[in-house]
Structure 1
């Protein structure tokens, strides 16, 4: 079935799906399950060591479909010296992330751009009016400014920044870009080899403009990530991503639209789910492969 839509060898294991695996274990798992690509996370790469991670991936003959993550660019929206220092730290960390992606020869660096300035992921925004900014438009402006500064640096190193819109439930603390259209508009001032966008089914399946914006994005689609949207969501909504077929998303039309737009890269399965993380990773990967064939590539 896979040849009807995507060429063979295009399925990639995003490392967070088998979160307990180190880089070495994830690489071994991909080889064992006949996968051609892996999506890596910076935390895991740091634990393994960048040089060792590069060595492992290359020795196994794997592609690195993405490195996650750069971003969190909005802290510069805080007032005064605090904001200036936060912005400088964010740029410095993102330059390091770009360098790591270049060493790994990753297809892209996924950019989770950050939420409202001062709001930390998963933490309350505060009981009073101070401590964070409610200026959503300003936060988006800070993202645009940071991308404009980082894009040439990425381009010089052959790295594509992949702006990832996140579901609106994550707008306060993780990403002020909530739609593919918003991410696409932010990417357009830059060469497509420097800045692209991520289509992640969990985050964008609900968008009434999704198919129009996928078509508009065309070759700016730098990564296609899949998992299902569980309903109801768990108490920790970050863990509401399920194995394809376990939730409400109709994958076939989205996959066909992404491919019709000209995307030829790997398809990553990225799942944040406590039960999936607790399961045997080899069983998770086996299920992932079968669901990819039966659900993601569905032609109905």
Structure 2
């Protein structure tokens, strides 16, 4: 449990103050926060809340979406938010194709160029940009970076510690080459996230993840790969699930802790 981090989206409807109280009551000292609820509560208030509670913010989720017209300004704000919260990692979801475009290769080049423009500001704030490859089914509308190789190709253009890659079991489990490459990634692993792939897929695929152990992902194989890479940082459980979201926050946390303990 010393490495466990509760990702805020797993209990989406749990207010930030109650979330913090619930984590403290459960002796959980790590949390991953999302930009929208932090902005709603207020950045300075959020930073003070988690700091006063003694919580470590493992990541801020999420920025990127480089197809948006305001991507540059929004990502710089996200970097500043991460620095204010004291988290060393900002998760980047690259975004999909621009409206009307079919040029996925061009979109990927733009992601690489955009990250290069953001690196100086992130480095100045002590924030690592963590590129997250998403399952290929999201390539059109959410994330043109679909594979470990695509994410690493961008990250390796920059110094270690400035740009890394997110290991998310839900998004990478299908790739038969990923585990070997993850095991050799060394310090490029910026954060490790757990969620399971359950079948049959629900109608809302984005919100159909399972708690670790509820699906078909070989969690033990991922644990071995990240350990071989030398990663010893936090392990977040990040589950987007409509049914889970209907349950009270303390129940969601308890179920998440139980699932984490069962697979680690």
Short-chain TM bin: over 0.9
**Does the CA contact (< 8 Å) of 2:19 and 2:249 recur in 1?**
no
Aligned to 2:83: 102
Deviation at 1:28, TM superposition (A): 1.3
SS in 2 for 1:197: strand
Partner SS, residue 185 of structure 2: helix
User: Is 2:211 the counterpart of 1:243?
Assistant: yes
Q: CA deviation at 1:141?
A: 0.5
Aligned match of 2:153: 185
- The offset of 1:233, in angstroms, is 0.8
CA distance in 1, matches of 2:205, 2:228: 31
Measure how far apart 1:256 and its partner are.
1.7
Alignment of 1:1-300 (within 5 A): 8-75=1-68, 86=69, 89-118=70-99, 132-295=100-263, 297=264
Unaligned segments of structure 1, at least 5 residues = 1-7, 76-85, 119-131
Provide the TM-score with structure 2 as the length reference: 0.97
Deviations 1:33-81 (A, max 9, x none): 1111000000010111000111011111111010011100134xxxxxx
Larger Rg: 1
Residues 129-162 of structure 1: per-residue CA shift (max 9 Å, x gap): xxx1000000000001100100111001100000
Task: Tell me how many residue pairs correspond in the alignment.
Answer: 264
Q: Return 27-36 or 158-167, whichever deviates more.
A: 27-36
Does the CA contact (< 8 Å) of 1:107 and 1:222 recur in 2? no
Query: For residues 15 and 2 of structure 2, what CA distance do their matches in structure 1 show?
Result: 22
Measured against aligned partners, the alpha-carbon deviations of 1:144-188 in whole angstroms (never above 9, x if no partner) come to 110010011100110000000000110100100111121011100
State the SS of the aligned residue for 1:145.
helix
CA distance in 2, matches of 1:257, 1:280: 34
- Runs (4+) of structure 1 moved beyond 2 Å? none
Q: State the secondary structure of the residue aligned to 2:95.
A: coil
